[in-house]
Amino acid sequence: MKTKKIRCADALVEILKANGVKFVFGHPGEQILPFYDALRTSKIKHVLMRHEQGAAHAADGYARSSGQMGVCLSTAGPGALNLVMGVATAYKDSVPILVITGDVPTDLKGGNVFQEIDICGVFQPITLKSFDVKDSEEAVFKLKEAIEMMQYGKTGPVHLNLPKDVLLAMVDISVITENIGHFPEIDKENISADISNAIKLIKESERPFIIAGAGIIWADALMEFRKFVETYGIPVATTYPARGIIPEGHQLSLGMIGVRGTEAANFAGKNCDVLIALGCRLSERTRKGIGNCKVIHVNLDEKSLNGNINIQEDVLEFIRRLNDLKLRSTESWLLEIQKYSRSYCIKTDYLTVPLKPQRAIKEILDASEINSIDSVIINDAGTHTTWVTLLKTVKNPSSLLFSGGFGPMGYAVPASVGAAVANPGKHIVAVVGDGGFQMTLQELATIAQLDLPVVVCIINNSSLGIIKQWQDLYYEGRYEVELENPDFVKLAEAYNIVARRVDSPGSVFKAVKKALDTKKPYLIEVVVDKEEGIPLPR
């Protein structure tokens, strides 16, 4: 009996659809065209970005704001390499995105033909796995493996490189539904002793403290986590990507820890007797807030483990192990922590012109919250980043997005596309500097074409502000940091986006509120004091 055949590209698209993929972000090119032809008749919506870097950032923004895997596409050679910035960004913050690249046909590989390059060699250091596919059946199974890796293992980008002839080749239709089987990476028997030791430490602790990372979001462990900390009264600080896991303002939330940590969080980190680090990396910036204590570190990524007791396990499974424990009272410990501030006490009530950037950011944040708590703020890299970090109270997870581990300029505008697609009905506000905006401003075309309700707020200080400040502080003066900017309002209008310029106290709030009320694409240029720097980290 003959089995029915299907084109490999069609099979791959069917597998994505079967796994709940509704959107992909990409830019077409010759070698990936069979995949695009399969998408053409699929229910999966393709979002046409104007640059492949934008496609990767959009997939990243989609994933961070939804908790679901993002998908980005490109063709071979230059298209694939343009994805690199966005893929590296997702890799540093363990964001699950599926990266699909086309490639030259297999019979031409190694001949230094047009647009040929070792794509997998480039992607290997910035992905969990880079699959260099050789035939159609392998393509199907590697796609399934990539999806399973992100569903059951540590999160991060996985790359699938697909030569054009492989995409065009035929494959048995039965492979679409064939189960490849999940092969867990972790030997659970070997961690049982570590878990017992961890539980013993937690039971004996008088001053326990938790650092929560975004791994709790990816593990879908929010409810169990909150129940655990509230049941036992354990104070919590977060890393930047995890802000809002427990609402900032909750009696057990101390805010962010580390270089930009609150006084309360860093006090707790330096005075606790047991630190439980859940789903985070304990980076050098986080460790600034940690003292000499016993550290229990739980993470699926073995390379991230850096504690006294290291447990390579899904954080949800670990939290469930801690049910029905009898722990010591934390009442006196919590009273001690209450003496320290959980906010940053930043002065924002300036009434002067030129407008202070901290006043402008406060007005943007206030306006974004007045109509709805369901707002997503996407923060770019630059001077404004610090003000957003210090002034934003995060009440919900995935409501403040920032590419913290890698920190590329130009993240916010394309990431806002992904966030808007993932969250119809929510307010999407991108806060970006005049320098970062000009790195990916072409994605205004995507926002306009899709009529996305994204409000882009450009903080314009006519310079690369943070670099200028470092030059003034640590070098012998400013060099190559002053920007001669275009008219941003006219630029937005060229994309058929309504825009306005504001430069005084009170005007920013009104402009952002009006923009959000339109539920349409909108750009606001906020002209601020060129000389105002940011407070130095403690």
Q: What is the DSSP letter of 240?
A: G
Burial class (CB in 10 A: 0-12, 13-18, 19+), 337: buried
- Tell me if residue 184 falls in helix, strand or coil: coil
| pLDDT at position 512 | 97
Structural domains in the chain, sorted by start? 5-176 (3.40.50.970), 188-337 (3.40.50.1220), 357-527 (3.40.50.970)
Predicted confidence at residue 24, as pLDDT, reads 98
The DSSP-derived string for 31-87 is GGHHHHHHHHTSSSEEEE-SSHHHHHHHHHHHHHHHSS-EEEEE-STHHHHHTHHHH
pLDDT in the model for residue 273: 94
Task: Tell me what pLDDT residue 184 has.
Answer: 57
CA distance 515 to 499: 9
Query: Which is it for the CA torsion 256, 260, 263, 266, positive or negative?
Result: positive
Q: Identify whether the C-beta of residue 278 lies closer than 8 Å to the C-beta of residue 211.
A: yes
Can you tell me whether residue 14 is helix, strand or coil? helix
pLDDT at 325: 84
pLDDT in tens, 353-393: 999 999 999 999 999 988 655 799 999 999 999 999 999 99
Stretches where the chain sits below pLDDT 70 are 1-2, 181-190, 371-373, 538
List C-alpha distances in Å: 451 to 64, 108, 369, 448: 21, 42, 22, 5
Task: Determine the Cα–Cα distance for residues 355 and 434; give it in Å rounded to an integer.
Answer: 15
What's the gap between Cα 213 and its chain centre?
12
Q: Tell me the pLDDT tens digit for each residue of 277-298.
A: 999 988 888 899 999 999 999 9
Closest CA to 255 of 309, 119, 244, 87: 244
Cα three-residue angle 332-338-343, rounded to 5 degrees: 155
Percentages helix, strand, coil for the chain (3-state, rounded to 5) are 45, 20, 40
Rounded Cα gap, residues 70 and 53, in angstroms = 14
Per-position b or e across 478-514, b if 16+ CB within 10 A of its CB: eeebebebeebbebbeebebebebbbebebbbebbbe
